[in-house]
Amino acid sequence: MIILWIDPWTATTGFSVLEKEGRKVRILEYGVITTRAGLSLPERLVQIGSDLTEILDTYHPTVCGIERLFFLRNVTNGIDVAQARGVMVHTLAVRGIPLVEFTPLQVKQGIAGNGFAKKPQVQKALKIVLGLTEIPKPDDAADALAIAYLTSLKYTGI
């Protein structure tokens, strides 16, 4: 089973790809889709869709986990991110790839055992759970690894 996870944003979208066989999880790739500063929102959306398509063509994921959006303060930024997430959801849906959604609280709870854990706590726990030698960077990629791991647990019923 190949699991993709996406942390949707417009400038830097985190992603990770894991392979799961039984209880064994192996990282295939993780990183970020970065759009250049100064691009218009439509140009960013096209690039995000194109880069995501390339990832899908390379790894052919079985399932995709994606973060559910939650914005308290900057609604304008939230609308742009929601549009980027819409491009991602559409790209996955067209290919028939099932989606599993998590809130940030669920991610923190699932990885660190505390829904209010700070980012460094989640990253240290993720390092242990995945047997990494160092904390994955950048933060968006680490977030993507966390949700891909949770998706592997939820989707396979383990």
Residues serving a catalytic function are 7, 67, 140
Residue listed under structure tokens 């809130």: 103
36/28 Cα distance (integer angstroms): 25
126/142 Cα distance (integer angstroms): 8
Two structure tokens written together for 148: 């891909």
- Cα 70 from chain centroid (whole Å): 15
Tell me if 103 sits within 8 A of 112, measured CB to CB. no
The radius of gyration computed from the CA coordinates of the chain, to the nearest angstrom, equals 15
1/25 Cα distance (integer angstroms): 10
